[in-house]
Amino acid sequence: MSTRTLDRAGRGVRPALDGLRTTPVTVLDIGTTKISCFIARPRPSQGFALLGRGYQAAEGFKGGEVIDVDAAETSLAAALHEAEEQAGDPVREVVIVTNAGRPVSRQVRVTHELGGATVRDEQLRALLVEARAAAAGAEQEVLHTVPVAVSLDGGRPLKDPRGARGERLEMLATVVCAGRQPIRDLVACLERCHVRVTEIVAAPYAAGIACLTEDEMERGCLVLDLGGGISGFAHFADGRLLCLDQVPYGGIHVTNDLAYGLSTGRAHAERLKTLHGGVVRRACDADARITFPLLGERPETPTGEVARARITHIVRARVEEILDFVQDKIRANWEVFERRPPRSVVLTGGASQLDGLEELAEEIFGIPARRGRPDLVHGRHGTETEPCCAATCGALSLASGDDDGLSWGDGREMPVLAGWLARLARWVEQNF
């Protein structure tokens, strides 16, 4: 159990900045529909001071992956330039938060023969490296290696194995991997923008770091990060990441369904979804009528009219399908979920802002649901609390070292952030 003090939301507050990064961190959140860039400096107590931010449409990307190099480079450069202008300093290094390469986790159990020797940091590090090697395939990149439990000679998990003697040290770890080629394409595109990628973070993991309270992480919580083209989920329990996966559907598919069903353009369908979209039929929907422009080539485009209840019907059908696909992924990982089932659901991402989504999630999953609002990043205009910022805010915490675990990229191409061994020692102290 962590010994950290808690803020009002129940989230851990940094006890000190020793071993944590104090220089500004730049995070690029690369999705299907938008790119956001945050430049922020860690604050002495908790959270980050926002120095600059930039937003740009994700031209040249699909699901966070590069499909048009020139358009992607232009989009990335525009988002970086906007944030740099506000911060007043050029960006040299960035952390990426993305779903590129379809990140997915697996749990790995590894052992290290001690021969009666004392457990030290070196043995724990060797186990993590071994877990990382065991999980990665030839065409995969390891994004995160998060310890779950450590035991000695088959005994119960230890609070702190260091200093104990035994014959065999065992660790259970969650390893998150993604396709190597999409990651390489993304990194190469950013290198052409004259910035170096220091770390890559899976979006659902980052969203959970930003939005979950300590109680939710301990009791068990499913984070649903509903993006534009991909809906990812991360399951946390006992303060650790246990499972991460995704389905290739998101808010853009809801927009496409509205455009097709109402015979209107995508821009107008997006507006209808934003202003009038929901997944629960309200009493006022029966009489509400919404006008919108129909598709047409004439200068004076004809106008259509639709009941708000019809919009709700179209939106709900697609969102139910997405949540059903998530349930299929949960059943595929049932061994993990059966041992530590989630007690609640937290909804993040831009597509999570649909009216009534919490009620629908409670209906489908049978557990309480709420919308996640990060409170880590503080700017001149207040705290960045929108659900669409969750992954970006969580990546700032991970990149600064405040992750209660370990995450790093391939050491051959993604240099490890400094001080990772100190983070290991802190993780052991706080979680065992």
Tell me the CATH number at 261: 3.90.640.10
Q: From CA 425, how far away is CA 401, in angstroms rounded?
A: 12
CATH at 134: 3.30.1490.110
Mean predicted confidence (pLDDT) in 47-53 = 93
Residues in Cβ contact with 204 at an 8 Å cutoff, skipping those fewer than 6 apart: 103, 223, 224, 225, 232, 233, 234, 244, 246, 391
Domain count across the chain: 2
**Got the DSSP string for 205-218?**
HHHHHHH--HHHHH
Which two three-digit tokens encode residue 96? 């990426």
The pLDDT tens digits for 316-375 are 999 999 999 999 999 999 999 999 999 999 999 999 999 999 999 999 999 999 999 998
Asked whether residue 23 carries a pLDDT value surpassing 70, the answer given is yes
On whether the CB atoms of residues 19 and 26 are closer than 8 A, the answer is no
Task: Using the Cα atoms of residue 393, residue 399, residue 404 and residue 407 in order, give the sign of their dihedral.
Answer: positive
Task: For CA atoms 388, 389, 394, 395, give the dihedral sign.
Answer: positive
Band (pLDDT 50/70/90 cuts) for residue 420 is very low
Give the strand pairing for 104-113 and 140-152: unpaired
How sure is the predictor about 226, in pLDDT bands with cuts at 50, 70 and 90? very high
- Determine the pLDDT at residue 109: 92
Q: Is residue 165 part of a domain?
A: yes
Residue 240 lies in a domain: no
Number of H helices, E strands in the chain: 12, 19
pLDDT at 273 over 90: yes
- Are 12 and 213 spatial neighbours (Cβ–Cβ below 8 Å)? no
Mean pLDDT check: name the lowest of 286-295, 299-308, 367-376.
299-308
- Residue of 230 and 45 predicted with greater confidence: 230
Where is pLDDT greater, at 283 or 112? 112
DSSP 3-state percent helix, strand, coil across the chain (nearest 5): 35, 30, 35
Q: Pick from 177, 197, 225: which residue ends a domain?
A: 177
C-alpha distances out from residue 42 to 1, 27, 323, Å: 24, 13, 35
Which has more pLDDT, 415 or 60? 60
Query: 387: closest CA among 236, 223, 235, 276?
Result: 223
Ranking 50-54, 268-272, 301-305, 358-362 by mean pLDDT, the lowest is: 301-305
Residue 207 counted as domain residue: no
Separation CA 370–CA 353 (nearest Å): 11
The answer to whether residue 417 sits within a structural domain is no
- pLDDT given for residue 166 in this prediction: 84
CA atoms within 13 A on the CB side of 128: 26
Angle of helix 251-262 relative to helix 308-332, nearest 10 degrees? 140
Q: What is the pLDDT of residues 181-217, one digit of tens each?
A: 999 999 999 999 999 999 999 999 999 999 999 999 9
Q: What integer pLDDT is reported at residue 415 of this predicted model?
A: 33
Q: Could you tell me if residue 257 is inside a domain? A: yes
Average pLDDT over residues 95-106: 94
| Domain ranges, residue 114 | 104-177
- Kindly state whether residue 238 falls inside one of the protein's structural domains: no
CB contact at 8 A, 38 and 378: no
On the question of pLDDT at 91 being above 70, the answer is yes
Lookup: tokens for 88: 């007043």
Query: Which region holds residue 19: left if phi is over 0, alpha if psi is between -120 and 50, else beta?
Result: left
Q: What pLDDT was estimated at residue 254? A: 96
Closest CA to 131 of 100, 156, 106: 106
Q: Which of 99, 82, 86 is nearest to 36 (CA)?
A: 82
Looking at per-residue confidence, does 404 or 124 come out higher? 124
Structure tokens at 259: 């455009």
With 90 as the cut, is the pLDDT of residue 428 above it? no
Last residue of a domain, one of 295, 319, 343: 319
CA dihedral 160, 162, 168, 172 (to 10 degrees): 40
Task: Confirm whether 399 is domain-assigned.
Answer: no
Mean pLDDT of the chain: 85
Among 298, 319, 340, the domain-final residue is 319
The phi and psi torsions of 414 (rounded to 5 degrees) equal -115, 95
What's the rounded Cα separation, in Å, for the pair 343 and 315?
26
Does residue 404 belong to any structural domain of this protein? no
